[in-house]
Amino acid sequence: MAAKVKPRDVTPIIQAVRNWLGQRKLVRTLRFEDYVSPRSAPPPKLPPGINHKLSANLYYARDGRRQAEPPVVVYDTTKLIASKMEKAETSVSSASSIPKPGSGYDWNTGSSN
């Protein structure tokens, strides 16, 4: 039976010098296979998708970038804006009756409007 291989490390003399110069005992953070417990991950539980078909599963059909399309217009506001512009043009004659916010100050006469 073969002897167990010791994990890589420096010689005891170099290790003593290293610990003396570092003023502490070095704790190696390397993980070796012999010192780590085995971990088995459970298999993924994924529902079958479009790529799990046996036929009619061409490579170019699986590319999601090819399925991208331009955005769909859900609501168009250009007609609404055009109708409001027409209403604003017809109401220009009555614009003088609409009060303006705030009161202005005439700097030439020194009175407020």
* pLDDT on residue 24: 92
Q: How many CB atoms lie within 10 A of CB 15?
A: 13
**Would you say 112 and 105 are in contact if contact means Cβ atoms under 8 Å apart?**
yes
The three-class DSSP label of residue 63 is: coil
* 25 is a domain residue: yes
d(CA 20, CA 14) in angstroms, rounded, equals: 10
* pLDDT on residue 28: 80
pLDDT tens readout for residues 10-25: 888 999 999 999 999 9
* 81 is a domain residue: no
Q: Kindly give the pairing relationship between strand 111-112 and strand 105-106.
A: antiparallel
Which ranges of the chain have pLDDT less than 70? 1-3, 5, 89-100, 103-104, 110-113
* 97 is a domain residue: no
Q: 94: which 2 tokens?
A: 């009555």
The domain total for the chain is: 1
* 98 is a domain residue: no
Q: Record the pTM.
A: 0.29
